[in-house]
Homo-oligomer: A and B are copies of this chain.
Amino acid sequence: MNKRFKEAEKFRYLILAVQRHGNKLLKDLLKEIGITPSQSEVISVLKNNENITLKQLGYLLICEEGSPSRLIDRMVKEQLIERIKDSADSRFVRLKLTKLGQEKYSSILEIENGVYQQLENIYTNTELQKTNELLDRFISDTSLSEALNKRGFSC
Contacts and interface: CB of A to CB of B under 8 A. Distances in A.
Number of copies: 2
Contact of A16 (B9, B62, B131, B136): B62
A5 B116 contact: yes
Contacts of A19: 15-16, 19
A63 to B, nearest CB: 7
B119 A12 contact: yes
Interface string A29-69: 00000000000000000000000000000000011010000
A98 interface: no
Contacts of A136: 14
A151 interface: yes
Given A16-B19, A17-B144, A20-B65, A9 B134 contact: no
A138 B115 contact: no
B129 A131 contact: no
A89 interface: no
A10 interface: yes
Given A22-B138, A123-B134, A131-B131, A63 B9 contact: no
The 7 closest A-B pairs by CB, nearest first: A5-B116, A8-B116, A7-B128, A14-B135, A19-B19, A17-B144, A8-B119
18 contacts: A5-B112, A5-B113, A7-B125, A8-B117, A8-B120, A11-B128, A11-B132, A12-B22, A13-B62, A14-B139, A15-B18, A15-B19, A17-B62, A17-B139, A17-B145, A21-B139, A119-B138, A122-B137
